[in-house]
Amino acid sequence: QARLAESGGGSVQAGGSLIISCAAPGYTGADYCMGWFRQHPGNEREMVGVIYAYGGATDVVDSVKDRFYISQDNAQNLVFLHMNSLKPEDSGTYYCAAYGLPSDRSQECDVGRVRTGDFHYWGQGAQVTVSS
């Protein structure tokens, strides 16, 4: 399977917006649960949200609800993490990841059910820094 590759991110002041994209050839529009994760230095990687690539159903964790959302562009093989109203605590390295999930189990692609260890394919990460 092709590798995932994040791009975008960067530095922004609190209250600003950023978009990170994940190049995901072979994943978008297919039977994959794709996730966005972030990691602060010294902390464990934490889930931000997921999208079931076949159909596009998304879910994000409560800490970013109403601020972040996920979308995909099947034609360009891209998955996006849109981040608005950014806070300093949103700073970290952001990763996209994926694992195969048959469509009859798509409901499992949910932040309350999936675990970090479920994801087999990972990007290299993109840095986000939010200053106060």
Residue 114: predicted pLDDT: 96
pLDDT digits (tens, 9 = 90+) for 65-116: 999 999 999 999 999 999 999 999 999 999 999 999 999 999 999 999 999 9
Q: Which of 17, 14, 7 has the alpha carbon at shortest distance from 87? A: 14
Q: Which of 57, 68, 48, 39 has the alpha carbon at shortest distance from 101? A: 57
What is the overall mean pLDDT for the chain?
Answer: 96
- Do 38 and 95 touch, CB atoms closer than 8 A? yes
| Distance separating alpha carbons of residues 126 and 7, to the nearest angstrom | 6
Q: Band the pLDDT of 2: cuts 50, 70, 90.
A: confident
Please, which residues bridge with residue 92 across strands?
128
